[in-house]
Amino acid sequence: MSDASVYYIFQTCMATDIGCVRTSNQDSIAFVSPGDPDERKRRGVLAVVADGMGGHNGGEVASKLAVDTICSHYFAAHDDDPLHTIEQALREANAAIFRAAEADRALSGMGTTATVLALSGRGMWFGHVGDSRLYRCSHGQVTQLTKDDTLVEQLVNEGLISPEHARYHPERNVLLRSLGTRPDLRVTAQVGDPPEVGDYFVLCSDGLYDCVDAPEIAQVVESSDPQVACRRLIELARERGGSDNISVGIIAVRLPEAVERPIPVTREMVTSNLEVR
Is the pLDDT at 6 greater than 70? The verdict is no
In three-state secondary structure terms, 195 is coil
- Residue 268: what pLDDT? 53
pLDDT band of 152, cuts 50, 70, 90 = confident
- Residue 98: what pLDDT? 96
Is the pLDDT at 153 greater than 60? The verdict is yes
In the chain, the amino acid numbered 254 is R
Is the pLDDT at 254 greater than 80? The verdict is yes
- 125 lies in some domain: yes
- Supply angle C-alpha 126, 128, 239, rounded to 5: 105
Is the pLDDT at 275 greater than 70? The verdict is no
Q: What is the DSSP string of 99-152?
A: HHHHH-GGGTT-EE-EEEEEEETTEEEEEEESS-EEEEEETTEEEE-S---BHH
Between 171 and 65, where is the model more confident? 65
Is the pLDDT at 133 greater than 90? The verdict is yes
Is the pLDDT at 4 greater than 60? The verdict is no
- 236 lies in some domain: yes
Is the pLDDT at 3 greater than 50? The verdict is no
Q: What is the pLDDT of residues 69-86, one digit of tens each?
A: 999 999 998 888 999 999
- Residue 186: what pLDDT? 85
- Residue 265: what pLDDT? 39
Burial class (CB in 10 A: 0-12, 13-18, 19+), 224: middle
Q: What is the pLDDT of residues 43-73, one digit of tens each?
A: 899 999 999 998 667 999 999 999 999 999 9
In order of 36, 239, 262, the CA distances from 277 in angstroms are: 13, 40, 21
Residue 267 lies in domain: 8-273
Is the pLDDT at 108 greater than 60? The verdict is yes
- 77 lies in some domain: yes
* Mean pLDDT within 30-34: 92
- 2 lies in some domain: no
- 166 lies in some domain: yes
Domains identified in the chain, total number = 1
- 186 lies in some domain: yes
Q: Could you tell me the CATH number of the domain that includes residue 16?
A: 3.60.40.10
- Residue 267: what pLDDT? 40
Is the pLDDT at 109 greater than 70? The verdict is yes
Between 171 and 63, where is the model more confident? 63
Q: What is the pLDDT of residues 189-232, one digit of tens each?
A: 999 999 999 999 999 999 999 999 999 999 999 999 999 999 99
CA dist 185 and 200 (Å) reads 30
User: If we measure between CA atoms, which residue out of 150, 203, 146 comes closest to residue 177?
Assistant: 150
User: If we measure between CA atoms, which residue out of 113, 50, 47, 118 comes closest to residue 85?
Assistant: 118
- 1 lies in some domain: no
- Residue 84: what pLDDT? 95
* Helix H or strand E segment including 273: strand 269-276
- Residue 93: what pLDDT? 97
- Residue 21: what pLDDT? 95
